[in-house]
Amino acid sequence: MRRNNRRSAFDRSLACIVATVLVAGSLALVAGDVVPDHVPSLVTWTTENIAAASSGDPFRGMLLAKRCDHCHGSEGFSSVTATPNLAGINALAIWKQLEDFRSHKRRSRTMEPIAGSLAPRDVADVVAYYAELPIFPDPQDNRVFPQGQPAPGRAAAASRLVTFGDGERGIAPCQACHGPVAFKTGAPSLATQNGDYLFDQMEMFANRTRANDINEPMRVIAGLLTEDERHALAEYYGAGLGLEPAGSTAPK
């Protein structure tokens, strides 16, 4: 009888251990099925995704983009400085942002439902249309770009950050990612971007309310910049100075 009692106690202990392991394993599986909040984007630059982002029909995209005209302008240039211009931006860059809106990795009350309503083919067509729009002035557009020229001191400070960054603070030059004339394949173009929009995005990266930058380059850099430096950079690009070779606007 005593041996049977010991055997029963052992069996109960073993059952508890097995149950604990199974529950822990189930929780681990559930946790693994949920995308962690810290994942900045679900976009991976596979051959298939690059092909999908590059296969759009710009004519069909033009028809789809009619719903975008109210905010982004009929020629891809907005009449509001806080709204981004989309004309001439690389297709891969726009495609990633729309995919991030679709997966809610980039938050916007306006853009999330709009992007979510687009089929994958629609996304490719829309980005193909905007990527092919010219950036030179057109009588049909109602652009506010470029904005006024920044004060010389602020322009010089921005030019130094664009060209050299700040090694002591670990700030890379803006041109390293965005190109020496504010354009680089795969990166958001800053060459003809509105200043208020750029400042708002840097602020959101700095306070981490925008977090869809893979490997966190913008969150880190924007957080290291002072608010005055973020203003200076936004004014620099918003005034069209990014169209000039990096460093050419610095005082001689």
Distance CA 153, CA 251 (A): 9
Which of 200, 194, 88 minimizes the C-alpha distance to 134?
A: 88
Which of 94, 118, 90 minimizes the C-alpha distance to 106?
A: 94
**What local confidence, expressed as pLDDT, does residue 38 receive?**
80
Tokens 């810290």 belong to which residue?
38
Would residue 73 be called left, alpha or beta, if left means φ above 0 and alpha means ψ between -120 and 50 degrees?
A: left
Q: What is the pTM of this model?
A: 0.83
**What local confidence, expressed as pLDDT, does residue 108 receive?**
97
**What local confidence, expressed as pLDDT, does residue 186 receive?**
85
Mean pLDDT by 10 residues, the chain (252 residues): 48 43 34 58 96 97 97 96 97 97 97 97 98 92 96 97 97 96 91 98 98 97 98 98 74 49
**What local confidence, expressed as pLDDT, does residue 139 receive?**
87
Distance CA 25, CA 164 (A): 50
Query: Can you list the alpha helix ranges (DSSP code H) found in the chain?
Result: 2-33, 47-53, 58-64, 69-72, 91-102, 111-116, 120-132, 152-163, 175-178, 195-206, 217-224, 227-238
Which of 117, 62, 59, 55 minimizes the C-alpha distance to 86?
A: 62
